[in-house]
Amino acid sequence: MKSTLDVIQAPIAAEMEEFERKFRASMQTKVLLLDKIMGYIVKRKGKQIRPMFVFFTAKISGGDPLPEATFRGAALIELLHTATLVHDDVVDESNYRRGFFSINALWKNKIAVLVGDYLLSRGMALALENDDFTLLKIVNNAVRELSEGELLQIEKARRLDITEDIYFDIIRQKTASLIASCCAVGAASTGADKDTIERARLFGEKVGMAFQIKDDLFDFGTDEIGKPVGIDIKEKKMTLPLIYALQQADWLTKRRVIFNVKNNEGRRDRVQAVIDFVKKSGGLDYAVTVMKRYRDEALSILHTFPESPSRTSLEQLINYTIEREK
């Protein structure tokens, strides 16, 4: 039986297969150790949602059949994004990524950092060799925003003084900027005008905001869905459900909850106390409402594009991102 993503992907199934071949080829190198690691990275790929956004957005922007630039744009995003993930695992001292051992766990930090550097240079070379300056500019901006968002979150985690506005800034930079760049690259790769590229970018940004809020909601689940429950709290990350709940609390309650977040030291009782507080304060319901608002805004922008099978698949992909269970 086909998965939900297989059904959504149907209008671009041939393009996704072609992309797989081209992406594998772009990862090949004559350095034996590097080639072995590149092969490992390709094998443990995720759901391939990013290339899907690139191809669907290219199609609704007039790119049918898709030009070679669209495939290069999708590869560029995958290379640069994979580089940031490899570096993230080093920074976070994480031994796992999507259920597999991370590069730093298998080959140590020094090699992981160098592999991330190689992926960044490979992505830039792919764009520069083909004069894809517009695509490189879009993706480079996303990588810059992602780095700034991570640093802003680290800075705020020390003081736990995040307001909703700061939270939205962080997730717009950390998560939404990447999906926005996928959609902008898809439109730009077809030679679309600036207005179309900007509409595509804004559409992707709205989807990315909804996607991250959904991810934050997993932290308060009753089962280990997608990631262990309470991991954001353990890492002192202030997410929307917690921010909203604190806004509703009296001074004494707020002080107690922030103490538990700051000094949880991984203790299950303190983490659970924060989770219980958020649930009782309506934090989850509020976050769901905001998530659905971003979804509706994304759909509104999407409906400014002509009706087509790709537009329908994008609608389904938006709903998948907020209904997924991991």
pLDDT tens per residue, range 152-181: 888 877 777 788 999 999 999 988 999 999
pLDDT at 111: 75
State pLDDT tens for residues 222-256: 444 444 567 788 877 889 999 999 998 889 988 88
Contact 160, 258 (CB under 8 A): yes
Number of domains in the chain: 1
- Quote the tokens at residue 236: 């002192």
In a domain, 210, yes or no: yes
Query: CB neighbours (10 Å) of residue 12?
Result: 22
In a domain, 68, yes or no: yes
State pLDDT tens for residues 111-123: 778 777 888 888 8
What integer best gives the mean pLDDT of the chain?
85
- Quote the tokens at residue 210: 């909804």
pLDDT at 87: 66
Which residues, at least 6 apart from 314, have a Cβ–Cβ distance to it below 8 Å? Answer: 53, 56, 57, 60, 302
Nearest-CA neighbor of 240 among 308, 305, 294? 294
Task: Give, for 97, the enclosing helix (H) or strand (E).
Answer: strand 96-97
In a domain, 325, yes or no: no
How far is it, in rounded angstroms, from Cα 203 to Cα 207?
6
Contact 185, 73 (CB under 8 A): yes
In a domain, 326, yes or no: no
In a domain, 76, yes or no: yes
| Whether residue 65 has a cis bond before it, omega within 30° of 0 | yes
- Quote the tokens at residue 54: 């690139």
Question: Residue with structure tokens 């976050």?
Answer: 287
pLDDT at 225: 42
DSSP bridge pairs for 100: 97
pLDDT at 23: 81
Question: Residue with structure tokens 């909703």?
Answer: 164
State pLDDT tens for residues 71-104: 999 998 888 888 877 767 776 666 666 666 677 7
Contact 220, 315 (CB under 8 A): no
In a domain, 54, yes or no: yes
Q: For the whole model, what pTM was predicted? A: 0.88
Average pLDDT over residues 297-314: 95
Average pLDDT over residues 7-19: 89
Cα 65-70-76 angle, rounded to 5 deg: 160
DSSP conformation class of 66: P
Nearest-CA neighbor of 52 among 313, 326, 295? 313
How far is it, in rounded angstroms, from Cα 213 to Cα 207?
10
How far is it, in rounded angstroms, from Cα 143 to Cα 311?
27
Question: Which has the higher per-residue pLDDT, 288 or 5?
Answer: 288
In a domain, 106, yes or no: yes
CA atoms within 13 A on the CB side of 145: 20
In a domain, 212, yes or no: yes
Q: What CATH number does the domain containing 100 carry?
A: 1.10.600.10
* Domain around 177: 4-319
- Quote the tokens at residue 312: 């329908």
Question: Residue with structure tokens 């090949």?
Answer: 28
